Structure 1
């Protein structure tokens, strides 16, 4: 415990001295993972220690921004969560830096940023909501994808008043044709996320979304039911399934056939609850 504290003290000192490479190397002393970078628990502990030690919010913000600009994945991951802690004081600066980090080439950095954005959206919903919503129109697929993941994370609190606005965010991405956005939207952000947190609201939205004839929107709807949570609602949403099954477009047909076969393989009794015939 004493050694850990000394290491963290050294880490904070080096950050203050802008010796970011040295700071990251110091953090490795507490344990590294597969990429020879500090493990997630180590990074989380470092973040907590910095926040508790650096009381001056302006200094903490400046430190986080400089860390975000340093070309190192660990530095950027830590920076994202330090920025999260000063959002209430510097919302515009923090939002701009996080938007830039959300487009980082390193996927692990993008994950940490999405987590930070989800936390900010949860705690500062009214202030951050329009920013995240605007991300759905960004030129970068990475930033658009971050918006959907942030919405999913914010949904974990299951706050009733968050439900519809969060669904408005993912709705804006339904017709997005980018593979990276699609991969993370229907099955993940909606199916395994918002459907779990707001089932009645999502099912009601599906009645609206199925009226969107866009191929990508239909594909996303089909993929919602391929998630573990989505499979529970296949019988309840049979009218939606029927429309998807009658869609002759290859991508939609492939998506719904794959979804139903996957669901029936997991639960063979599902066939008995459906009035429609499913090709197996």
Structure 2
């Protein structure tokens, strides 16, 4: 990213660049904090992104050096430092993939909620850009002890599924499947209907095949998530192909699964032809 033109004083930019070159992390953060304190209508995020651009320029866009700087920023455990680290890693992951992945994992479980949100989004950007490098590492996160780290995997899949790479569909579904068994509320909340939007849109055949498997799974949690998938707006576009699985779930022996299936059916019925909706509703009778 090239620095954008703005009206901020040159000494602020120069001081920030000098602190970055010298590795003076506390001075760097203090300068940004001072600017943040004087904000008058300028979004905090915009100033932070400008700061990252100045830092990148100061280090000649050297990704390896920038990953090291991100490590130092994250080590402060300050919200600002961790946010800057996330922004840097989302672009410069390739400078040191192993180190960057370890940092993103730590930041995904940060004690600061905004940092966790940014880290989860950054994981999606990194997965889309460096799939072959990041996927194996991200897959191990599905077994991490922190629910926030496991949650970041779901967020990454949500974002990366929009990349429309035909080879990724089965792999993304493989990564989601163990998280469908996860009963932690943090993970359950993230595995919402929106999770399936890109997958249903760009990997319909892969989802169709996996859905039939999930509909007859021995695991009740997997069946319930399979039922909730139909609440995604994109499910209505493929209802004829996916309806066999929904019919199975509507007759599920588990009350919670059946309830999820009926709720999803009501959502689908609002988005499809009345005749199709009536046929599906007949499966409940």
How far 1:31 moved relative to its partner?
4.5
- Gaps of at least 5 residues in structure 2 are none
Using the TM superposition, give the Cα deviation of residue 145 of structure 1 relative to its aligned residue in structure 2, in angstroms: 1.1
Give the Cα–Cα distance (whole angstroms) in 2 for the partners of residues 209 and 23 of structure 1.
53
Note if contact 1:182-1:220 (Cα within 8 Å) is conserved in structure 2. no
Consecutive unaligned residues in structure 1, runs of 5 or more: none
- For the residues of structure 2 that align with 1:105 and 1:271, how far apart are their CA atoms? 51
The SS at the match of 2:258 is helix
CA contact (8 A) 1:27 1:38 kept: no
Q: C-alpha root-mean-square deviation of aligned residues, in Å?
A: 2.7
In structure 2, the CA distance between the partners of 1:130 and 1:106, relative to structure 1 (3 Å rule), is same
- TM-score of the pair, normalised by structure 2: 0.84
Q: Distance in 1 between matches of 2:40 and 2:119?
A: 20
Residue 277 (structure 1) aligned to one of 258, 261, 281: 281
Q: 1:193 aligns with which of 186, 191, 198?
A: 198
Matched, 1:18 2:16: no
- The match for 2:190 among 164, 168, 184 is 184
Determine whether 1:260 maps to 2:272: no
Q: Residues 93 and 100 of structure 2 are in contact (CA less than 8 Å); yes or no, is this contact kept in structure 1?
A: yes
Q: Is the 8 A contact 2:215 2:226 kept in 1?
A: yes
Count, aligned residues: 275
Cα distance change of structure 1 residues 188 and 8 upon mapping to structure 2, 3 Å threshold: farther
1:1-280 → structure 2 map (5 Å cutoff): 1=5, 3-4=7-8, 6=10, 7-15=12-20, 16-19=23-26, 20-28=28-36, 31=39, 39-55=44-60, 56-189=62-195, 191-264=196-269, 266-267=270-271, 269-270=273-274, 272-277=276-281
In structure 2, the CA distance between the partners of 1:199 and 1:193, relative to structure 1 (3 Å rule), is same
Q: What do the CA deviations read for 1:104-139 (whole angstroms, capped 9, x no partner)?
A: 233321221122222222222212111000101111
Secondary structure of the 2:180 match is coil
Normalized against structure 1, the TM-score is what? 0.86
Map Cα deviations across residues 134-173 of structure 1 (whole Å, 9 max, x no partner): 1011111111111121122222211112222112111221
